[in-house]
Amino acid sequence: MTDTCVQINEQGFLYAVPTPITDCAGYVLISKSSYDSYLAGSELTPEDVGAAFSFGFAAILVSCYFAAYPVGIAKRLINKL
């Protein structure tokens, strides 16, 4: 089965229309293999979540360091006066 453009009629039933998928104004009915390949590409693994958390934590630490560095320089300059 290939991907098919479908629409809903007045009775609420789906019917196939001979419209290309790119121009489909209704719904697209896809095969199980297409659906499985779509899901395989969008799964989150524990490694992905851990990497995202680690990156966010490191980004906060690094940005706080760079934000505090000029404050430290100003503090040392004021103490020398």
DSSP 41: T
Q: Considering the entire predicted model, what is its pTM?
A: 0.45
pLDDT at 33: 87
What distance in Å separates the CA atoms of residue 14 and residue 5, rounded to the nearest whole number? 10
What distance in Å separates the CA atoms of residue 55 and residue 63, rounded to the nearest whole number? 12
pLDDT at 37: 85
For every one of its 81 residues, what pLDDT tens digit does the chain have, with 9 covering 90 and above? 678 899 999 999 998 998 888 888 889 989 888 888 888 777 888 999 999 999 999 999 999 989 999 998 999 999 888
